[in-house]
Chain A
Amino acid sequence: EAEVAQSPRYKITEKSQAVAFWCDPISGHATLYWYRQILGQGPELLVQFQDESVVDDSQLPKDRFSAERLKGVDSTLKIQPAELGDSAMYLCASSLAGDTAYEQYFGPGTRLTVT
């Protein structure tokens, strides 16, 4: 069964450093999402892509976060500089377009710890 791939699975970094996460969606999925899940909370949307275009980045802290999906396939989420409050699980999800667009498939996540 096809899965959403994410790397790394775990990342420890010091505050003020740069960090990047990678996501490879299920083949053929045009829509890609990045969510942040703080411990004890539900995931919150950071950014949504349709192919290579950003559909919604209203909750992305743009002063330090950036996301790209240059060829409309895999995606990178970057934080620079990282802050202590960025410690969380970063989840990537993907979905098809059309009637099944609401079925999102999640990757295993990247757990970030900022020290």
Chain B
Amino acid sequence: AQSVTQLDSQVPVFEEAPVELRCNYSSSVSVYLFWYVQYPNQGLQLLLKYLSGSTLVESINGFEAEFNKSQTSFHLRKPSVHISDTAEYFCAVSVPEAGTALIFGKGTTLSVSS
């Protein structure tokens, strides 16, 4: 069975500092990988995804994630965070052979302060 581990439940950082949110997955078959963001009292929004091709994927708001097959990781990074990046971030996997449903990690709360 597939599983997702987000290694940090909370990550506090100062504004304009770099940040990395760590995600590891476990699967014996190929997976697709996703990062979702959830702002307070809102639903989840897709931040970025890896399906195939380049292992480095980027979002429109400066986040990037790199798929590392050997380390089964998909860490999320941003070189300089803003107060508005404060949110809950979820890493998720989908197994193409088994359909399109997502398996989520427990989430990482990113708190950006000035």
Out of A35, A41, A95, name the residue touching B100 (CB < 8 Å). A95
User: Within the complex, what minimum Cβ distance (angstroms) separates B32 from chain A?
Assistant: 6
Q: Mark B70-113, 1 if CB is under 8 A from A, else 0.
A: 00000000000000000000101010000111111111000000
B45 to chain A: which residues have CB within 8 Å? 106
Q: Mark A37-77, 1 if CB is under 8 A from B, else 0.
A: 00011111100100000011000000000000000000000
A106 to chain B: which residues have CB within 8 Å? 36, 43-45
Out of A42, A56, A101, A103, name the residue touching B4 (CB < 8 Å). A42
* Between-chain CB contacts (< 8 Å), 6 pairs: A40-B106, A45-B101, A91-B44, A104-B102, A106-B36, A108-B43
Report if A41-B107 is in contact (Cβ < 8 Å); known contacts: A48-B101, A101-B100, A103-B49: yes
The residue on B at minimum CB distance from A42 is B104
User: Within the complex, what minimum Cβ distance (angstroms) separates A2 from chain B?
Assistant: 13
A87 within 8 A of B: no
A56 to chain B: which residues have CB within 8 Å? 99, 101
CA distance A93 to B42 in the complex (A): 13
Question: 5 closest pairs, A vs B, by CB?
Answer: A42-B104, A106-B43, A106-B44, A45-B101, A108-B43
CA distance A45 to B46 in the complex (A): 17
**Cβ-defined contact, A42 with B92, below 8 A:** yes
B92 to chain A: which residues have CB within 8 Å? 42
Report if A102-B43 is in contact (Cβ < 8 Å); known contacts: A42-B106, A42-B107, A45-B102: no
**Cβ-defined contact, B104 with A102, below 8 A:** no
The residue on A at minimum CB distance from B102 is A104
CA distance A102 to B51 in the complex (A): 9
CA distance A93 to B102 in the complex (A): 11
